[in-house]
Structure 1
Amino acid sequence: MNIEAVIFDIGNVLIEWQPERYYDRVIGEERRRAIFDAVDLHKMNDRVDRGENFRDVIYETADAHPEIRDDIRRWHDNWIEMASPAIDHSVRLMRALQSAGVPVFALTNFGVESFAYAQTHYDFLNKFDRAYVSGHMKVIKPDPEIYAQVEADCGIAPGRLLFADDRADNIEAAAARGWQTHLFEGPQGWADRLVSEELLTREQAE
């Protein structure tokens, strides 16, 4: 079945998202482990991704844990350092697809304010043909509802969507709806898949 649109996740597909790496660098692995054991910061971030206010959620969580308040606030105050760097080859693939006339969408778990901030830092985040951002949609992957919203909005049959994501649970949820999928483990594998689908030539996928 011919692909009519390619859908990119953002975190760890177009931009590296490794909060633990950031904290290890800034405060050391031992302290980071203690903080992450005490407070589920990824669960905190899920609230942001569902549409709650970026600063409010993080500062509220920080204030509930005064002994590590400043460390939790880093999640907001130094957020762009966690959401970096861009994965350059993936960005080139996105641009190559669009240059070849293939629509490129985003489907991402991302907060409203944090996505707007990221757009000021990474211009390619402004270039999607359609951007499906969980914070605006009020639901996060892998909830089937987020995929249903994409289908309803774009009007493309599920089997004609090709979706790349680094998380197996997100991929499995999309596949269950009939989407074509690719588990992203690095940009070269993604490039190879796009070539095999005849969406890009080998030269275009470099």
Structure 2
Amino acid sequence: MIHQHVVFDIGKVLIHYDPHIPFRDIIPSDERRQFFLDEVCSHDWNLEQDRGRPWEEAEAEAISRHPEMAEEIRAFRRNWHRMVPHAYEGSVALLHALIDAGVDVTLLTNFASDTFREAQAKFPFLTATRGVTVSGDIRLIKPDPAIYEHHARSFDLAPERTLFIDDSLPNVDAARAAGWSAIHFIDPDQLARDLAAEGLPVEAAGRP
């Protein structure tokens, strides 16, 4: 079946994300920096901002656990822009190729509301699709089945004709459980092969 709808994740599919980048300067010690990103401002801690928790609450919660690292905790949000240094040009070219070929393309992302708007300003291609579901706006995060249902309902997607692309296997599995097809993103070259195997038009993907 030719897919009518293609849904892209954003972080680590279209744009690079790495909190270590600014924190190599902020916390030069490898051991202390790893502790900070594993235990203080961890992935799970940050995910709550993707679920809609305000940064002020997030900072207060982390400072209550580690008051000795208050300045480093506050530095996380201030330096967020440095954590997304560049886009994956190959993935962006594929996104444009699909749009140019008339394929319906939308975005479904775990992202805090405010940082997503910053990302759109920094990476204008994030405004090129028909629309986006931002987890922080609706207080649902992947892989919760409800966020896939919300996205399909919001954009009138037929699940059996929808193809989802994400770097996270749990998110990919949840999309399949929702009745979508899904591709586990590895890198842009593999994505191009996978999209072509699905019968999607990616020939024009040389465009920057």
For the criterion TM > 0.5, the same-fold answer is yes
2:178 counterpart of 1:177: yes
Q: Sequence identity of aligned pairs in percent?
A: 39
Q: 1:61: which partner in 2?
A: 61
Deviations 1:9-34 (A, max 9, x none): 00000011122344245423222112
CA distance in 2: counterparts of 1:186 and 1:89, whole angstroms? 8
Secondary structure at the counterpart of residue 13 of structure 1:
coil
CA change 1:131–1:42 in 2 (3 A) is same
Q: Unaligned stretches of 5+ in structure 1?
A: none
2:7 counterpart of 1:7: yes
**1:69 Cα deviation (Å)?**
1.4
Moved over 6 A (4+): none
CA distance in 2: counterparts of 1:70 and 1:30, whole angstroms? 18
CA distance in 2: counterparts of 1:25 and 1:108, whole angstroms? 28
CA distance in 2: counterparts of 1:131 and 1:37, whole angstroms? 29
Contact 2:2–2:199, Cα closer than 8 Å, also in 1? no
CA distance in 1: counterparts of 2:201 and 2:26, whole angstroms? 40
CA distance in 1: counterparts of 2:108 and 2:61, whole angstroms? 27
What is the total number of aligned residue pairs between the two structures?
204
Secondary structure at the counterpart of residue 162 of structure 1:
strand
Q: 2:99: which partner in 1?
A: 98
Q: Mapping of 1:70-149 within 5 angstroms?
A: 70-149=71-150
Contact 1:61–1:72, Cα closer than 8 Å, also in 2? no
Secondary structure at the counterpart of residue 192 of structure 2:
helix
Contact 2:2–2:200, Cα closer than 8 Å, also in 1? no
CA distance in 1: counterparts of 2:79 and 2:14, whole angstroms? 19
Q: 1:44: which partner in 2?
A: 45
**1:46 Cα deviation (Å)?**
1.4
Q: Unaligned stretches of 5+ in structure 2?
A: none
Contact 1:58–1:75, Cα closer than 8 Å, also in 2? no
**1:62 Cα deviation (Å)?**
4.6
Q: 2:192: which partner in 1?
A: 191
Q: Mapping of 1:6-45 within 5 angstroms?
A: 6-24=6-24, 26-28=26-28, 29-45=30-46
